[in-house]
Amino acid sequence: STQNTRHKTHHNMDTTIAGKYKFRRKAEQREVALQRIWCRCSKLVEAEIEANDVDIDEHEPLELPWDNLPRGLDPAEGNLDDDRADRKRQQVTSLVQQSLAMAKHIPNARFVEFGAGSGHVGVLIAYLRPDSDVVLVEAKEFNSIVAKERVANIGLSNCRVFNGTLDEFDQTGEEFDISVGLHTCGLLTDATLALSVRRRVMACIVPCCYGQVAAFKEDHDRGQGTAARTQPLSLKMQEALMLQEQQQQQQQQQQQQQQQQ
């Protein structure tokens, strides 16, 4: 298509500059940014998938009768159109299914959801695994209040809220078996993985804010000593991002030279 052709012609562009390349929508800009990242990192992701021994039947996704579940479990409750509601449910159930599969051989498994928000993932895990113990870790007080209300309204005795940062939860010394997170913003993904590695527990994380990674934008303290330009620790990802930054610097130098001429 014409749109795809336009995207291909700008393979060296800085996709973090809104409006510079005449994208009609931010969605187009995000799509190109993801394509560039995938081009650099696809082999790394494919190798990880191949090495993953978690037994999940890809042809049988987790199907839940949302209308028959207790009020408060549905992540799509609110003023969402049908398409957005379906996408939100799919995102949550996909992560929940993977997390449950990873911990299925652990009796009384202990889950911790970092960056939990109002607890879409954690409350569903607690409901589907009544033998488990789930902690929702959320730094924002407002979100924590909403999460506590959801847990109480659903009547979950195996789910609780920790209002604090990842490091503050770590300082409690509480043990757990698997960390989970949906749309963990910026360096929170790296902080969660770092804590999981140090605690020697499993992690099932869906990152967010890829733009912060691709553009090396500054991010506030997320914990575990993570910092901009030192994360991610993956050498392949670092190589891809550093190459992008070098290309941006070269473009800026060329522009400066042209202006001087």
Kindly report, residue by residue over 42-82, the tens digit of the pLDDT.
777 777 667 665 555 555 678 899 889 998 898 888 777 78
| Cβ neighbours of residue 239 closer than 8 Å, sequence gap 6 or more | 40
The 10s digit of each residue's pLDDT in 218-255 is 555 666 566 655 555 666 666 666 666 677 777 778 88
What pLDDT does residue 99 have? 94
What pLDDT does residue 240 have? 64
The 10s digit of each residue's pLDDT in 114-146 is 999 999 999 999 999 999 999 999 999 999 999
Task: State the chain's mean pLDDT as an integer.
Answer: 79
- Indicate the pTM of the whole model: 0.69
The 10s digit of each residue's pLDDT in 172-200 is 999 999 999 998 877 788 889 889 999 99
Q: Which residues of 25-34 are buried (b: 16+ CB within 10 A; e: fewer)?
A: eeebbebbbe
Asked whether the beta carbons of 188 and 130 are under 8 A apart, the reply is no
Residue type, 65: P
| Cβ neighbours of residue 45 closer than 8 Å, sequence gap 6 or more | 38
The 10s digit of each residue's pLDDT in 20-36 is 556 666 677 777 777 77
Rg (CA), the chain: 21
As a dihedral over the C-alpha atoms of residue 20, residue 22, residue 26, residue 28, rounded to 10 degrees, the angle is -120
What pLDDT does residue 63 have? 86
Does residue 81 sit in helix, strand or coil?
coil
H-assigned helices in the chain: 2-9, 26-51, 82-102, 120-128, 141-154, 166-171, 188-199, 210-214, 235-260
In this prediction, residue 6 has a pLDDT band, given cuts at 50, 70 and 90, of very low
